[in-house]
Structure 1
Amino acid sequence: MIDSFKTALQKELTDGILKYWAEETIDHKNGGFYGQISYDNKVNETADKGAIMHARILWTFAAAYRQLGDKKYLEVCDHAYEYIKAHFLDKENGGVYWMVDYLGEKVDGKKQIYANAFVIYAFSEYAMAKSVIEPLELAMDIFQEIEEHSFDQELNGYFEAYTEEWVLMEDLRLSEKDKNEKKTNNTHLHILEAYTTLYIATKNQKVGQQLRNLIELFLDTILDSETYHFKLFFDERWTLKSDEISYGHDIEGAWLIQEAAVALGDEALLAKVKDVAVKIAEVTLAEGIAEDGAIVNEGDPSGITDTDRHWWPQIEAMVGFINAYENSDDEVYLKAAHRLWEYTEAHLINKEFGEWWWRVDENNVPNLEEDKVGPWKAPYHNGRACIEGIKRFEKIQLAQTT
């Protein structure tokens, strides 16, 4: 199974995801990448362009180059990097703008910490792909801004959003569906992800210190140690403000926190995190996986509340289950990962027009209203999961032959 599984992931990565984004999404006229493309490839050439999407594209192609070694991926990286540097970096106040228009002019200069973290993530990966220092220097500048303005020195954690001049905003929401709270699991998870890569690239002591703090914050505060779900929304004093469960964030968080612990090289901390990662996988498998093998979107203590199958939880759960298999040697997790891949291949990949559907319902009917390229839709989740799967299967195969 592992060999054919790995081959399928590599084919989708190279012939599907990366090919589509390299050939269909670059705005050769105005720079950067198109801000909106519909499921059937209708390009909105005047759509605004988001920092998150551009950072995710840069990270994905840099990571793909580091895994596969194909220099054509570096060309996409260079295009993305130069555009982010020219149009999203706030050269006066520091940090990263939220949104520019199709010509690259600022339309929303707010400093959403989530977006700033993604640029750190992308610049760090790009620096390692190119073996250059400038992206790391810029990433460290953004790190310093986050630590100076967003880190809560008194109560720990990071506040969500600031104005262009770094004044804490009243509307802190990352998107319309989120609760307007000062601290969230989602933002902390992606700060952790960014700091992990920044630490790997720099071995900076302060970055390592804050990365360790984030791991401990997840284990001690954000994780519900009774249910093994991550709590989602908090006020500034870490009072829980929602009982929602996001199955995708649970299983994604499980493997990302483990990657952070691996980067730090603390064996005691890593052992603790591995145990948690397996327990989260166990709960996700028991509660969040439907009969057809797909992961459902959301629940609460009473049960499942949203049975839709979004593209990103399917593929993040695949990685989370492969990770649990590596930790435990329990083939139930490998089988769960393979079922998720089979489901994704059958129902989430848009075989007629390329790339992936945003989501399908429980009857596998795609939602045609949601775009496949947009502020939130980039090759990062599916591209990263394919890269992770390939890397992990190569490691497993190597261990089996030695």
Structure 2
Amino acid sequence: MDLKSQMRDELLSILDYWTKNTIDNKNGGFIGTIDHNEIKHYNDPKGSVLNARILWAFSASYPITKNEQHLKIAERAFDYIAQYFYDREHGGIFWSLNSDGTPNDTKNQIYALAFTIYGLSEFYAASGNTQALEMAVALYKKIEEYSFDPVHKGYFEAFTRDWQPIDDLRLSDKDANEKKTMNTHLHIVEAYANLYRVWKDEDLKSTTRELLITIDKYFIDTDSKHLRLFFNEEWVEKEDVVSYGHDIEAAWLLQWCAEAIDDENLTAVYKKHAIILTEGTLEGLDNDGGLWYEFDAHKNQMIKEKHWWPQSELWIGFVNAWQLTGDKKYIDLTQKNWKFVQQHILDKENGEWVWGVNKDYSLIEKDKAGFWKCPYHNSRACIELIKRLP
């Protein structure tokens, strides 16, 4: 079976797991956590990022699968976000909810707003639901009103529920507590470009263009061939790890964003960056075809873990590099990584993908579904390869 056919089968397998295992028939919406032992934690908080990514994954898959059940699950995700995660009083997105749908952590993490826009715009494309588009546009305007830095450019990370400054700006405990991060900027521009695909607003287009210029200026280090990750308000860098997954995700995704707004100059810039960042990612490839998680520059050592999501982004980034150069090595490396994923990351007993493996291939015992374990990276990799491969 060729790679394209395998990707179609894998997409269906991923969607099947989420369809059968994650619907919360006790509390509504989707279960907050399924742990690595497949135990469902119905009382755990529900994360906004998880729900937005479920919305995106099933909405983006529907035009490929033509399965009405997939559209119904996207509708379930939309209805739950609209009813519970969307803050009608202040116009934001709650970071998390209690299992009964009441607010838990009410901060406005811009990353979560961005992913909600990404999911809503994809759902509108799949369903024509105008309420979803209206909500996406409203969230875009909130980000521009409160998060955009008119003095130094770029976007601030987080705010309180009523859009006041907040001390802890971090997405997670592992992140530096800085005001501007690569990760959030990457997903804002991804969201804006996706929204522009369905809402051809000139202000949105120029805003997206300016953001791509800002990312080019500050986040991409063409000398090291890696991304710069953390900055303060005035763009003073706080040096951190090399994140191979983000390098290869940015390699193809930023080019995609430039193409989405039909900007020829920025597309040309980001095609060059795509090859540079892809070549930088090669540093993180192991002999088995798997991609290591991160390199700790302070300790000058590889973080010897292979997480599920960087493997997914590798597929798209390397196939994109092959499309740009015609160099067969990128397809060969994609095939080799897919074999690694089949051997070590696919959960052949229960379905879906495990969180990852350690150096000795022992399991990283983290969620199968949860706050950060979502059907977004791996489903998107399948979708993109289905679209890109002949």
TM-score by length of 1: 0.95
**Structure 2 counterpart of 1:13:** 11
- How far does residue 162 in structure 1 lie from its aligned partner after superposition? 0.4
Once residues 263 and 343 of structure 2 are traced to their aligned partners in structure 1, the CA distance between those partners, rounded to angstroms, is: 40
Q: 2:227 aligns with which of 221, 227, 230?
A: 230
* Counterparts of residues 237-386 of structure 1 (less than 5 Å): 237-285=234-282, 287-301=283-297, 303-368=300-365, 370-386=366-382
Kept in 2: contact 1:149–1:166 (CA 8 A): yes
Once residues 97 and 244 of structure 1 are traced to their aligned partners in structure 2, the CA distance between those partners, rounded to angstroms, is: 29
**Structure 1 counterpart of 2:179:** 182
User: Letter of the aligned partner of 1:113 in structure 2?
Assistant: I
Q: Deviations over 1:316-364 (max 9, x none)?
A: 1111000100011001111111111111111101111221111101221
**Structure 2 counterpart of 1:200:** 197
- Taking structure 1 as reference, are residues 314 and 304 closer, same or farther at Cα in structure 2, changes over 3 Å only? farther
* Counterparts of residues 3-82 of structure 1 (less than 5 Å): 4-14=2-12, 16-82=13-79
* Counterparts of residues 140-155 of structure 1 (less than 5 Å): 140-155=137-152
SS at match of 1:106: coil
Identity between Structure 1 and Structure 2 (%): 43
- How far does residue 264 in structure 1 lie from its aligned partner after superposition? 1.3
SS at match of 2:33: coil
User: Letter of the aligned partner of 2:17 in structure 1?
Assistant: Y
**Structure 2 counterpart of 1:209:** 206
SS at match of 1:309: strand
- How far does residue 132 in structure 1 lie from its aligned partner after superposition? 2.6
Once residues 176 and 6 of structure 1 are traced to their aligned partners in structure 2, the CA distance between those partners, rounded to angstroms, is: 37
Q: Deviations over 1:234-266 (max 9, x none)?
A: 001111102321010000011110110111112
Once residues 208 and 266 of structure 2 are traced to their aligned partners in structure 1, the CA distance between those partners, rounded to angstroms, is: 12
- How far does residue 153 in structure 1 lie from its aligned partner after superposition? 0.5
* Counterparts of residues 107-122 of structure 1 (less than 5 Å): 107-122=104-119
Kept in 2: contact 1:315–1:340 (CA 8 A): no
Q: State the aligned residue count.
A: 389
- How far does residue 12 in structure 1 lie from its aligned partner after superposition? 1.1
**Structure 1 counterpart of 2:154:** 157
Once residues 176 and 280 of structure 2 are traced to their aligned partners in structure 1, the CA distance between those partners, rounded to angstroms, is: 25
SS at match of 2:302: strand
C-alpha root-mean-square deviation of aligned residues, in Å?
1.1
TM-score by length of 2: 0.98
SS at match of 2:226: coil
Kept in 1: contact 2:222–2:276 (CA 8 A): no
Once residues 296 and 98 of structure 2 are traced to their aligned partners in structure 1, the CA distance between those partners, rounded to angstroms, is: 38
Kept in 1: contact 2:307–2:356 (CA 8 A): yes
> Which stretch of the first structure deviates more once superposed, 214-223 or 142-151?
214-223
Kept in 1: contact 2:222–2:273 (CA 8 A): no
**Structure 2 counterpart of 1:387:** 383
Q: Deviations over 1:366-401 (max 9, x none)?
A: 112x111111111001111111111111xxx2xxxx
**Structure 1 counterpart of 2:88:** 91
Kept in 2: contact 1:117–1:194 (CA 8 A): yes
Q: Which runs of 5+ in 2 are unaligned?
A: none
SS at match of 1:299: strand
Once residues 12 and 266 of structure 1 are traced to their aligned partners in structure 2, the CA distance between those partners, rounded to angstroms, is: 33
Once residues 183 and 224 of structure 1 are traced to their aligned partners in structure 2, the CA distance between those partners, rounded to angstroms, is: 16
Q: Which runs of 5+ in 1 are unaligned?
A: 398-402
- How far does residue 190 in structure 1 lie from its aligned partner after superposition? 0.7
Once residues 45 and 250 of structure 1 are traced to their aligned partners in structure 2, the CA distance between those partners, rounded to angstroms, is: 35
Once residues 127 and 326 of structure 2 are traced to their aligned partners in structure 1, the CA distance between those partners, rounded to angstroms, is: 36
SS at match of 2:175: coil
**Structure 2 counterpart of 1:400:** none
